[in-house]
Amino acid sequence: MQKRPNFIIFITDQHRADWLGCYGHPIIKTPNIDEIASSGTRFNNFHVASPVCMPNRASLLTGRYPSQHGLRYNGCTLPIRANTFVDVLASSGYQTATIGKSHIQPFTDQEPFYKNPEETGPIKEAWKPEIGNFEQEQPGRYLDDGRYEFITPYYGYKHVDMVTAHGDRCGGHYRQWFRENVPNWEALQNNKNELPHNYSCPQAYRTPITEEFYPTSYIKNQSIDYLKNHSKDEDPFFLFVSFPDPHHPFNPPGKYWDMYSPEDFEVNLPYAAHENPTPPMKWLYENWKNDTGQFSPQTAMMLDDKKIKQAMALTGGMISMVDDAIGEIMNVLKSNNQAENTIVCFNSDHGDYLGDFNMILKGALPFNSVTNVPFIWSDPHQKREQVSDKLASTVDISSTILERAGIAPYNGMKGKSLLPIIEGKEFDRERLLIEYNDGGARLGFKTPARVRSIVTKSYKFNIYLDQNWGELYDLANDPSETNNLWSDPNHSAIKAELALSMNQELIGLMDESPMSDRPA
């Protein structure tokens, strides 16, 4: 009987597809991720279910869209009663572990950006509160010395090594380890001790924390320890290795700070390149020119070319550090003779505008820079490189893993297995759905933005709730999405066709779970 395969998923945070060597970036060096791609399938047309952290991570775990699984925007929680594909693997005998950023429960204790202003009676919500522990990622769990012991299984994970937040001041188990192993930890996390630099980009911070003690290295070392500790196990493993970088703040440590020079980069898609900017783009432009500031540190903004190039250089440093960490983990996998039975994937939870139309970070504008992310599947059975332009989505990852493991999925999953693509067989998909729900009113919207997108091989169609405008881009002739054809009469038939497709997708979002098991 053939042994069931192991799985490792490497995932980065806020990392657009074209910022890897194997995806064609002319400057960023990622030899270790490129090596994974060299014996696997690289998906060029892979899109998120939602271009924001928490909803998309929950979609990866459940194989369902945010409207179905309930984690619709950052600050919500994935219901504890939600099944995940990791639950399925664990129930089938897999050892399951997550190391690094999870972010399916809130990891801050801050007040939400948006509160319902309407008066409510003694019952405030449509659903009764779910009973359960939704605070395991929050800071209060990690204030004491020692190690906070997670209550497991955690959405299917039997082993949890938690890293929360971003940059050099991550929380969770990392923060407890950092305090325990770095005698002068308080001084290293004091803004007054920032190392000198000449960068003016917002959130560019030269950390005094060395590479050895930076969160990327912690995640690398914990992952290596896990592989070594499970090298002799009979049971297969599923390991989720999640790096908080290259998400801002822009603070790669040590040699990675100046690994790339801002002068090496270009802003190839300035604001002026868009022929007919949408109202939020115009709002961002005015906000930039009037120096009004950000709604929050995570909110999209526009910057001048100099600052964008600085952000690019520092992002490149963070990506290269992650790539080096992945290389070391892969070396251990090979030395333990585990590689020949381990499927390795690389993915990101969403992208970053990173200079497109002079914007950085992410937001309600679903350009490819935030929706198109890398996905690489390297299977020992494949042993050759191939590239696919087929439409694929975050919701497909779970179905693909379960089919490869030989395990049936649960009812209600919306994804399609990508194994036919990987195995060179027929795979038919005409369109993808992308959801975006904001937790606050930003970018000129009067209420939190609600956006739905349809992506086909040739077009992207974006609808914004209660707005008298939308977006239609001809991806075949305008891949950079610079000309909005929404009001073009020559494209009215295409617009109507895509609107019908949108209706079909939204109708299909009805939750099929639980399935009726009784006669009417």
| DSSP structure string for 403-469 | HHHT-PPPTT------HHHHTT-------EEEEEE-SS--TT-SS--EEEEEE-SSEEEEEETT-S-
Q: Of 412, 390, 386, which Cα lies nearest the Cα of 399?
A: 412
500 domain residue, yes or no: no
Q: Of 306, 346, 351, which Cα lies nearest the Cα of 323?
A: 346
158 domain residue, yes or no: yes
493 domain residue, yes or no: no
497 domain residue, yes or no: no
CATH of the domain at 182: 3.40.720.10
481 domain residue, yes or no: no
170 domain residue, yes or no: yes
Q: Which helix (H) or strand (E) holds 305?
A: helix 305-335
How far is residue 16's CA from residue 462's CA, in Å, rounded to a whole number?
A: 19
265 domain residue, yes or no: yes
User: pTM score > 0.75 for this model?
Assistant: yes
**Which domain covers residue 11, as residue numbers?**
6-111+132-430
Query: What phi-psi label fits residue 289: left (phi over 0), alpha (psi between -120 and 50 degrees) or beta?
Result: alpha
Q: Structural domain tally of the chain?
A: 1
**pLDDT tens by residue, the chain, 520 residues:** 458 999 999 999 999 999 999 999 999 999 999 999 999 999 999 999 999 999 999 999 999 999 999 888 887 889 999 999 999 999 999 999 999 999 888 777 666 666 665 667 888 888 888 888 888 888 888 988 889 999 999 999 999 999 999 999 999 999 999 999 999 999 999 999 999 999 999 999 999 999 999 999 999 999 999 999 998 888 999 999 999 999 999 999 999 999 999 999 999 999 999 999 999 999 999 999 999 888 888 899 999 999 999 999 999 999 999 999 999 999 999 999 999 999 999 999 999 999 999 999 999 999 999 999 999 999 998 878 999 999 999 999 999 999 999 999 999 999 999 999 999 999 999 999 999 999 999 999 999 999 999 999 999 999 999 999 999 999 999 999 999 999 999 999 999 999 999 999 999 999 999 887 777 6
54 domain residue, yes or no: yes
Q: For residue 176, give Cα distances in angstroms to 98, 146, 275, 329.
A: 17, 7, 50, 23
Apex 103 CA angle, 402 and 394, nearest 5: 40
